[in-house]
Amino acid sequence: MSHCMSSLSVLHADQTERLILDSALAVLKDDSFNGLTVRAVARKAGMSERTIFRYFATREEFLDAVAREFTRLLNMPRAPQTLVELLAMPRKLYQSFEPHAKLISVVFHTEIFTRMKAGAAQQRWEAIGKLLDREFKKAPARARKIAAANIRYLLSGASWQYYRF
């Protein structure tokens, strides 16, 4: 019986955290980053601010969790392992952005975006750099670095917005 109760508690906690994060993204989409307050998220989720603070003790923890959730929502393609995958990446990436266009435009110039770049995006850039180093060993390091910077820009939200319009 106690094992069943603990499983239910974990399930309830997971569902509550999911509700908080979904509500945070909804607040961002409906309002703006400035509107992303614990009070607004609590109101959207139909819970108390205190409940949110039980899951995220600080604003930093909360924003990190929102950044991870937004990254998950975008369903970003994995880092390319081959040149063929690298060439296919802009289309895949832009397609993953498209359903969330409004939310991306809100998040684009916020702390959440900065946190996203420091997480999964950083791993993707490192993988691309390694791929270029591996595939173009004979090219000067400076040329590979410039190519990586151009690819990084092409695979950014800024490029997606530019080409979208």
DSSP letter, residue 78: P
Model-wide pTM > 0.95: no
Angle between the 59-74 and 2-30 helix axes, to the nearest 10 degrees?
Answer: 80
Residue 141: the pLDDT is: 94
State the pLDDT at residue 12: 59
Taking residues 129-146, report their average pLDDT. 94
More confident residue, 35 or 152: 152
**CA distances (Å), origin 93, targets 16, 47, 64, 82:** 30, 35, 22, 16
Q: How far is CA 99 from CA 14, 68, 104, 161, in A?
A: 25, 18, 10, 13
